[in-house]
């Protein structure tokens, strides 16, 4: 493709369009063309082998699911508009599966009777649907996508732990074998996600996820989940509350510079509308609120910043709102308010603030918890090292679900003593198309894609530069047959194009090894070999070509290192 649509802003989206790997049918809905499909199948096969090796059994579940089972677990509500819902000819509501916890749990409940039937590890590689509000980034965020999802069913926590560890290792193996170094980080498990959860991240400067990492101890977490030491705010001995005039000052920056106190000695008030009710959030002035932590804490469906009208309607003054003297509104405090004394807070009147506000002396909170967003430069909660922020693309997510689904769908088993217990679950996902796009995002240069060999659509780009009266066509044809017979996958560029066009396309497509058959080198009985990531080609005798190709490919096919 020569003309790239303007909405393609990410590198992987642009390169996959330009190289003819994908084509958009509708927003977030793509056709996978032959080159992409070859790579996807390679990724799928690596995943399949690792899932099988970790005790997984492959099956295939229906995409079309009765909406009823989504209502039974409460997830129809939690997914909201993200769930594609349709009605059949008998007016029965159905959903297109965005994931399969409900279906698989119901299935397992029908077959598992006793502890002897456990554990089970069941997976599929299948198309899923999610009505994303903003599909973007080519295959990064789509509405129809291929996913591997495995579900583990165990009799007890120790069993879940074993399944979880096996899966985490299988995931490390998958990324390493794909040639894509990934980092395993602690992740938010959502309001119903259960306990532990980890994501696997491909690190790229343009990734949509922020990761907080400690070089000291190796702690790494999605910023949605990351914790940090918040440090002391100071403030000295608690003093009596005093009003102070702050004409025209509303933001933390304005107030702290006007009163000449650091932001960490102020209290910031933020209003949220949580499932329709106003919630008052207070946090130290230098810290941002982490809305994911807040949402999980409150266990709500919808959380958003309140509008000015909503704040006014509750009788409060935006910009000078104070927790002191507040009534009738739920107050959530970040634990950073314990880190100091004599804070500056709002005065609940325009142009007025209060000095020497002390928590909990001067106001109460309904909940005190960590709801702050961790940042680079803060100290690691574990070792005190200085945290750094890096970016990545999430390419895998594993969860310990516990009994959320099995409780609701009645998936129980009889233990050794004949007591009925809920089965304990885990789930483990990889977005296959997303991994492909992330691979391009991580592996490219200014000329095009640079495929890691294990997931490249082909191993070799065979590039004859035809000229009448030379044996180029004949030699290239012979070489093609020889390589194919040896199991080397060859993309044979037999177009009558100029060397410039062919080389540019070879670089764009990013096939690992280019072999050029030209009249110039053939005159000396030689060919030109060039790995995509090398600058200069090497010249090799025609007879030595297959041996050298094997050598180069075997070196390039080594698994990547994975943290």
Q: Which is nearer to Zn ion, 382 or 447 (CB)?
A: 382
CB of 184 to Zn ion, least distance (A): 16
Q: Which of 1, 25, 313, 383 binds Zn ion (CB under 5 A)?
A: 383
Are the beta carbons of 381 and 229 closer than 8 angstroms? yes
**Which of the stretches 13-21, 115-123, 174-182, 385-393 binds Zn ion when contact is defined by CB under 5 A?**
385-393
CB of 441 to Zn ion, least distance (A): 28
CB of 210 to Zn ion, least distance (A): 17
Task: Provide DSSP, 122-149.
Answer: EEEEEEEE---SS-BTTTTB-SEEEEEE
> What Å distances lie between residue 132 and 69, 79, 141, 434, CA to CA?
21, 11, 8, 14
CB of 379 to Zn ion, least distance (A): 8
386 binding Zn ion? (CB under 5 A): no
Q: Which is nearer to Zn ion, 44 or 388 (CB)?
A: 388
CB of 219 to Zn ion, least distance (A): 5
Q: Which is nearer to Zn ion, 330 or 382 (CB)?
A: 382
3-state secondary structure of 489: coil
CB of 385 to Zn ion, least distance (A): 4
317 binding Zn ion? (CB under 5 A): no
**Rounded Cα gap, residues 387 and 182, in angstroms:** 19
Q: Which is nearer to Zn ion, 121 or 213 (CB)?
A: 213
Sign of the dihedral defined by the CA atoms of residues 178, 179, 183, 188, in that order: negative
CB of 215 to Zn ion, least distance (A): 8
Q: Which is nearer to Zn ion, 167 or 380 (CB)?
A: 380
Q: Which is nearer to Zn ion, 382 or 421 (CB)?
A: 382
Tokens read off for 216: 């000291």
> What Å distances lie between residue 231 and 212, 300, 338, 339, CA to CA?
17, 30, 10, 7
**Rounded Cα gap, residues 551 and 549, in angstroms:** 5
101 closest CA partner among 322, 384, 401: 401
519 binding Zn ion? (CB under 5 A): no
Cβ-based neighbours of 84, under 8 Å, separated by 6 or more: 95, 96, 98, 129, 130, 131
**Rounded Cα gap, residues 504 and 484, in angstroms:** 24
CB of 383 to Zn ion, least distance (A): 3
Contacts with Zn ion by CB under 5 A: the residue count is 8
Q: Which is nearer to Zn ion, 231 or 477 (CB)?
A: 231
**Rounded Cα gap, residues 518 and 538, in angstroms:** 13
CB of 387 to Zn ion, least distance (A): 8
Say if strands 182-186 and 197-203 run parallel, antiparallel, or are unpaired: antiparallel
| Residue ranges in 363-382 that form contacts with Zn ion under rule CB under 5 A | 380, 382
**Rounded Cα gap, residues 213 and 376, in angstroms:** 8
What mask of x and - would describe binding to Zn ion in positions 195 to 234, judged by CB under 5 A? -------------------x-xx-x---------------
Q: Which is nearer to Zn ion, 64 or 217 (CB)?
A: 217
Q: Which is nearer to Zn ion, 214 or 333 (CB)?
A: 214
Residues 287-315, buried b or exposed e (16+ Cβ, 10 A)?
Answer: bebbbbbbbbebebeebeebeeebbeebe
3-state secondary structure of 238: coil
**Rounded Cα gap, residues 45 and 37, in angstroms:** 12
Q: Which is nearer to Zn ion, 17 or 226 (CB)?
A: 226
Residues facing 201 on adjacent strands:
183, 394
CB of 218 to Zn ion, least distance (A): 7
| Residue ranges in 45-74 that form contacts with Zn ion under rule CB under 5 A | none
Q: Where on the chain is the footprint of Zn ion (CB under 5 A)?
A: 214, 216-217, 219, 380, 382-383, 385
């Amino acid at each position: 493709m020569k003309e790239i649509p303007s909405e393609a802003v990410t590198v992987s989206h642009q390169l996959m369009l330009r190289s003819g790997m994908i084509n958009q049918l509708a927003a977030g809905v793509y056709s996978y063309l032959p080159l992409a499909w070859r790579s996807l199948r390679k990724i799928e096969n690596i995943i399949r082998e690792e899932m099988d090796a970790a005790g997984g059994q492959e099956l295939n579940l229906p995409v079309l699911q009765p909406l009823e089972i989504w209502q039974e677990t409460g997830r129809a509500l939690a997914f909201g508009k993200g769930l594609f819902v349709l009605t059949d000819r008998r007016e029965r509501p159905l959903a297109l599966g965005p994931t399969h916890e409900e279906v698989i749990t119901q299935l397992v409940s029908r077959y598992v009777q006793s502890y002897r039937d456990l554990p089970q590890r069941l997976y599929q590689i299948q198309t899923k649907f999610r009505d994303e509000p903003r599909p973007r980034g080519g295959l990064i965020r789509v509405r129809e996508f291929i996913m591997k999802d495995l579900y583990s069913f165990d009799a007890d926590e120790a069993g879940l732990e074993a399944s979880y560890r096996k899966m985490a290792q299988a995931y490390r193996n998958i990324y390493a074998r794909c040639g894509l170094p990934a980092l395993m980080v602690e992740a938010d498990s959502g309001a119903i996600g259960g306990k532990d959860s980890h994501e696997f991240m491909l690190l790229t400067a343009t990734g949509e996820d922020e990761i907080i990492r400690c070089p000291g101890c190796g702690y790494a977490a999605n910023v949605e989940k990351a914790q940090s030491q918040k440090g002391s705010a100071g403030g000295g001995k608690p003093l009596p509350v005093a009003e102070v005039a702050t004409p025209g000052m509303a933001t933390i920056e304005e107030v702290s510079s006007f009163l000449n106190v650091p932001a960490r000695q102020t209290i910031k008030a933020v209003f949220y509308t949580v499932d329709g009710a106003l919630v008052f959030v207070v946090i130290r002035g230098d810290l941002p609120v982490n809305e994911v932590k807040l949402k999980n804490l409150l266990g709500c469906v919808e959380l958003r910043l309140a509008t000015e009208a909503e704040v006014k309607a509750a009788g409060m003054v935006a910009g000078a709102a104070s927790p002191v003297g507040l009534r009738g509104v739920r107050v959530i405090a970040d634990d950073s308010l314990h880190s100091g004394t004599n804070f500056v807070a709002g005065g609940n009147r325009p142009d007025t603030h209060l000095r020497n506000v002390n928590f909990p002396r001067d106001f109460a909170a309904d909940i005190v918890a960590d709801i702050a967003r961790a940042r680079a430069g803060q100290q690691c909660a574990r070792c005190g090292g200085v945290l750094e922020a890096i970016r990545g693309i999430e390419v895998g997510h594993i969860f310990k679900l516990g009994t959320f689904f099995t409780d609701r769908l009645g998936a129980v088993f009889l233990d050794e003593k004949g007591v009925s217990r809920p089965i304990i679950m885990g789930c483990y996902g990889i977005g296959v198309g997303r991994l492909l796009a992330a691979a391009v995002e991580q592996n490219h240069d200014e000329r095009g894609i640079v495929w890691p060999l294990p997931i490249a659509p082909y191993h070799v780009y065979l590039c004859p530069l035809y000229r009448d009266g030379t044996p180029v066509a004949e030699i290239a044809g012979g070489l093609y047959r020889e390589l194919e017979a040896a199991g080397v996958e060859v993309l044979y560029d037999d177009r009558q194009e100029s060397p410039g066009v062919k080389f540019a396309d070879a670089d764009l497509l990013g096939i690992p090894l280019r072999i050029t058959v030209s009249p110039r080198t053939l005159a000396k009985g030689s060919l030109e070999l060039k790995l995509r990531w090398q600058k200069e080609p090497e010249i090799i005798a025609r007879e030595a070509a297959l041996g050298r190709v094997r050598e180069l490919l075997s070196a390039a096919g080594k698994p990547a290192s994975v943290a």
